[in-house]
Amino acid sequence: MADSGVSGGADKKDNIEREKIEGKELTKEEKQRLRKEKKQQKKGKEKKDASLPQVSVAETAAPASQLKAERRARQEAERTSKQSKKGDTGQPATTSKPKIPPNELQPVVKRLPEHIQVDDPDVLKKLAKKLERQQIPRRLDYGYKVSLFSHLLQYSRKAPLTQQLSIPSAVIHPAIVRLGLQYSQGIVAGSNARSIALLHAFKQVISDYTTPSNEELSRDLVNKLKPYISFLNQCRPLSASMGNAIKYIKKEISNIPSQFKEDDAKKKLLNCIECFIEEKIVLAAKAIAKSSIEKINDGDVILVYGCSSLVNHILCEAFEKGRKFRVIVVDSRPRLEGREALRRLVQKGISCTYVLISAVSYILPEVSKVFLGAHALLANGYVMSRVGTSQIALVAKAFNVPVLVCCETYKFCERVQTDSFVSNELDDPDDLIVTRKGETQLKDWQQVPRLGLLNLVYDVTPPDFVDLVITDLGMIPCTSVPVVLRVKNVDLL
């Protein structure tokens, strides 16, 4: 079937073009055909390789694996030709089924995410091609980027990705479109909130999903989710917690045995997602609150930074249990998330003080403990969190105030990082502009040639500033994070 597609190319091509314009999703065959054509064009330019007779050996029926077979066959052929050149007694190059060439070394460095390789034009081209294939619009950079961060993306909030989508978009499920918009505008922010929103959106996608006729649910659903994930990535780079959640879902989907009926499979998946949210987020929060309350004594003055849902939960629980303490909320421009935390705590009845981060050295002599939330915990013990957290930990260390970080285990991630430059996120630089006394100093910052505005989102705190990490598995020092990761991986297997 695939071969005949080349001959009937002309009409089919027009069909495809028309459908693209109308925004309908290309069927599997049409996508396959496009890919084939592009490959043929490329092959025509390449030199004809003599040792390609084994191409015809591949006979698997499913069209998707045909290209893979071709590639494998080519690799085998090249290997045999090399061996024959060396003069070895050549083993029979291929059996009837092409073998995967053995990989002794697993690649140590996983494929780098594209959003930290923006300065590499090849990577950008590859990304553009991939997005085109998945029919997802690409978000463009905005404004002058500080040279130290030229490898990162910088978007403007005024140009959300959804403006470039046609409505109704048949490629992307509407729940995902809405989610993407909420991410890019900052309506849903904070790692727990983002993960939960993502999982809810996926639940909707799964319940609306129907398996096409000759596909397996386990494989097709994963492929369906890939463009959604690209889209969300374009709206706002995925967080570590979201990454772990997606990994979990993909694993669950691919583990669905093929004999399940569609409804049962969907029910099972929805159940899995519910379990994940319940176990890893809600119950974890309860466990962490229980351990943390032991650390809060009567008469304590606790300092918190920004708005961490987990830390707010802990403080509210402790207050309900009757502990007497007061809270100092530290906030920073331009996000001013601390005001949200302030509202929640004041509503509960906790007595609060509010300062900006520049006043931290004034207020720290009064403080007895610092509670910080985390966005992710890296494998070398560094804590990745909202920008400003490392500063608070630094000043607290200078004043000998204990620093406690609260983090659920699903946010642990295998990356390692030592500074806040290589892998970070740049927010809209226009957020820094402020009007005071009727004057906006930075109003025309784009016109001034040498002026750059930097709006970082995350930073990393070295482990020597952190005294204790409170997780749902217990209270551990920062350096035990890789141990927890190893234990978790063993569990998952």
Partner 1 sequence: HKITSSCKHEATLSSTNQKAACSRSPGTMPGPYRETDLTEKVEAFLSDLKRGGSGTGPLRGSAETARETTALLRRITAQVRWSSAGDLMEVIRKEGRRMSAAQPSETTVGNMIRRVLKIIREEYARSRGSSEEADQQESLHKLLTSGGLSEENFRQYFTALKANVIEAINELLTELEGTTDNIAMQALEHIHSNEVIMTIGRSRTVEAFLKDAARKRKFHVIVAECAPFCQGHEMATSLSKDGIETTVITDAAIFAVMSRVNKVIIGTQTVLANGGLRAVNGTHTLALAAKHHSTPLIVCAPMFKLSPQFPNEEDTFHKFVSPHEVLPFTEGEILSKVNVHCPVFDYVPPELITLFISNIGGHAPSYIYRLMSELYHPEDHEL
Those residues with Cβ within 8 angstroms of residue 369's Cβ, 6 or more apart along the chain or in another chain: 295, 296, 300, 301, 302, 303, 401, 402, 404
Binding part of the chain for partner 1, among 201-209, 307-315, 331-339, 477-485 by CB under 8 A, reads 331-339
Angle at which helices 262-276 and 240-254 cross, to 10°: 150
Q: CB nearer to partner 1: give 28 or 326.
A: 326
Q: Which of 90, 402, 452, 482 binds partner 1 (CB under 8 A)?
A: 452
Distance CA 274, CA 196 (A): 10
Q: What does DSSP assign to residue 162?
A: G
Q: Which of 50, 437, 438, 493 binds partner 1 (CB under 8 A)?
A: 437
269 and 336 in contact (C-beta within 8 Å)? no
**Any contact of residue 359 with partner 1 (CB under 8 A)?**
yes
Minimum CB–partner distance for residue 460 and partner 1 (Å) = 8
183 and 155 in contact (C-beta within 8 Å)? no
Binding part of the chain for partner 1, among 1-9, 173-181, 251-259, 329-337 by CB under 8 A, reads 329-337
Q: CB nearer to partner 1: give 226 or 443.
A: 443
Q: Which of 255, 358, 479, 489 binds partner 1 (CB under 8 A)?
A: 358
Contact code string over 461-490 relative to partner 1, x by CB under 8 A: ------------------------------
Binding part of the chain for partner 1, among 153-161, 236-244, 315-323, 380-388 by CB under 8 A, reads 380-388
Count the alpha carbons within 13 Å of 422 in the hemisphere toward its beta carbon.
7
Minimum CB–partner distance for residue 305 and partner 1 (Å) = 9
β-strand partners of 329: 304, 354
Q: What does DSSP assign to residue 232?
A: H
Q: Which amino acid is at 288?
A: I
Those residues with Cβ within 8 angstroms of residue 371's Cβ, 6 or more apart along the chain or in another chain: 292, 302, 303, 304, 311, 314, 315, 404, 406
Q: CB nearer to partner 1: give 29 or 464.
A: 464
Q: Which of 278, 419, 474, 489 binds partner 1 (CB under 8 A)?
A: 419
What is the SS3 assignment for 460? strand
411 and 191 in contact (C-beta within 8 Å)? yes
Distance CA 473, CA 288 (A): 8
Binding part of the chain for partner 1, among 1-9, 37-45, 121-129, 351-359 by CB under 8 A, reads 351-359
**Any contact of residue 128 with partner 1 (CB under 8 A)?**
no
Q: Which of 131, 240, 342, 466 binds partner 1 (CB under 8 A)?
A: 342
**Any contact of residue 217 with partner 1 (CB under 8 A)?**
no
Report the 10 Å Cβ neighbour count for 196. 19
Q: Which of 297, 361, 479, 489 binds partner 1 (CB under 8 A)?
A: 361
303 and 364 in contact (C-beta within 8 Å)? yes
Structure tokens at 59: 């006979």
**Any contact of residue 398 with partner 1 (CB under 8 A)?**
yes
Cβ-in-10-Å burial (0-12, 13-18, 19+) of 159 comes to middle
Binding part of the chain for partner 1, among 234-242, 315-323, 352-360, 409-417 by CB under 8 A, reads 352-360
Radius of gyration of the chain (CA): 27
Minimum CB–partner distance for residue 241 and partner 1 (Å) = 21
**Any contact of residue 316 with partner 1 (CB under 8 A)?**
no
Identify the residue whose tokens are 């669950």: 252
**Any contact of residue 391 with partner 1 (CB under 8 A)?**
yes
CA distances 129 to 135, 230, 360, Å, are 10, 12, 48
**Any contact of residue 403 with partner 1 (CB under 8 A)?**
no
**Any contact of residue 348 with partner 1 (CB under 8 A)?**
no
Minimum CB–partner distance for residue 360 and partner 1 (Å) = 6
Distance CA 285, CA 195 (A): 14
Q: Which of 434, 474, 479, 489 binds partner 1 (CB under 8 A)?
A: 434
**Any contact of residue 454 with partner 1 (CB under 8 A)?**
yes
Binding footprint of partner 1, residue count (CB under 8 A): 51
Minimum CB–partner distance for residue 302 and partner 1 (Å) = 14
How wide is the angle at C-alpha 25 spanned by C-alphas 249 and 183, nearest 5°? 50
94 and 54 in contact (C-beta within 8 Å)? yes
Q: CB nearer to partner 1: give 345 or 377.
A: 345
Secondary structure element (H or E) that encloses residue 45, with its range? helix 28-45
Q: CB nearer to partner 1: give 70 or 337.
A: 337
Binding part of the chain for partner 1, among 12-20, 110-118, 227-235, 451-459 by CB under 8 A, reads 451-459
What residues make contact with partner 1 under the rule CB under 8 A?
Answer: 146, 148, 332-334, 339, 342-343, 346, 351-363, 386-388, 390-391, 394-395, 398, 419-421, 432, 434, 436-437, 441-442, 445, 448-456, 459-460
